[in-house]
Amino acid sequence: MASTRTIISNNSSARLSTPPPGIIFKFPVGIDLPQGPPDGSLFAGSFDLLMDIRVPVTIATVYATCVHILNRSRGPGTQPARFARTTLFKWLVNAHNLFLCVYSAWTCFGMTGSLVRTVIETSATHARGSSSFWRGLCSLNEGIWGHGLNYYGFLFYLSKFYEVLDTVIILAKGKRSSLLQTYHHAGAMLSMWAGIRFASPPIWIFVVFNSLIHTLMYFYYTLSGLNIKVPKAVKRALTTAQICQFVLGGSLALAHFFIYYFDPGLEQYTSCLVNPGQTFALWFNVLYLAPLTYLFIGFWIDSYVLGRKTVLPRDQ
């Protein structure tokens, strides 16, 4: 192993070192599926099928293509679809917003609770310290993957397909879907697939951070849909929180490259990332976040610096 810099000089402490050679830039081929969600849980029987790369690639491609075609057919005078003018449509949109708000809150609390319990359990079986914390995050056998991430993360991956309804609502209103909107949804499907397919430890960040932001965002949409006036400062705070999520989350994810925790079973330090699939998923997510952050910053400048009339990425 490459020489390490110990955070605290005992095996209860994690170590920082160079990323493990041989896997950091290796394409993931022939890697078995990880442990799926618990038997009997929602969609557990379809885990293998839904983890096929063709599923997210096909849906994301069809989604982006259809949006592009429909965007080109929309001009300034495009009218909303007839159904979009009805009271039923309005209440269906409100129900959609409320469902995603409640679901996101459930995911955030459930995933955070699982994370805390896992770290406590790993600390109870070994000396407390940063090593136990990172073992709880990284170990596929003892860590968060089999204690919640394989369940909440898998469902969160599936929710990215459902969120396409956001774009359907925009188009039904006779409006165009922005590049930010389309890229965000299509990229999220593929990013979550990579993280869950390869059980990449940093994907817990996507699940926790994104579900928290979505809880607040869809609560905002719910209030707006009920014609409850929300101060502009709230909208600005939501956009700022989105950008902070990308920057902080991406930085924390990259830190996993350099973490080594003490494995008491092997009696040696082990890298947080152990195969090319995990590193591929991490690179994919970080590279997805870079242009997404750029687009959100551009939106923030247009809205709050230049004072242009803009809306949050999902206009309702």
User: Per-residue pLDDT tens for 5-32?
Assistant: 443 345 678 888 888 888 988 899 989 9
Task: Report in angstroms the alpha-carbon separations of 275 from 22, 28, 108, 187, 259.
Answer: 9, 8, 27, 23, 14
Assigned token pair, 301: 């400048």
Contact criterion met (CB below 8 Å) for 184 and 312: no
**200 neighbors 273 (Cβ within 8 angstroms):** yes
If 0-12 CB within 10 Å is exposed, 13-18 middle and 19+ buried, where does residue 200 land? buried
Structural contact between residues 113 and 186, judged by C-beta atoms closer than 8 angstroms = no
pLDDT in tens, the chain (316 residues): 444 444 334 567 888 888 888 898 889 998 999 999 999 999 999 999 999 999 999 999 999 999 999 998 887 778 899 999 999 999 999 999 999 999 999 999 999 999 999 988 888 776 667 888 999 999 988 899 999 999 999 999 999 999 999 999 999 999 999 999 999 999 999 999 999 999 999 999 999 999 999 999 999 999 999 999 988 889 899 999 999 999 999 999 999 999 999 888 888 899 999 999 999 999 999 999 999 999 999 989 988 887 765 555 554 3
- Please choose, from the candidates 189, 185, 163, 179, the residue with its C-alpha nearest in 3D space to the C-alpha of residue 71: 179
Kindly report the pTM of this predicted structure: 0.92
- pLDDT value, residue 54: 97
Contact 189, 161 (CB under 8 A): yes
Cα 179 vs. chain centroid, distance in angstroms? 19
Q: What angle do CA 141, 143, 146 make, to 5 degrees?
A: 70
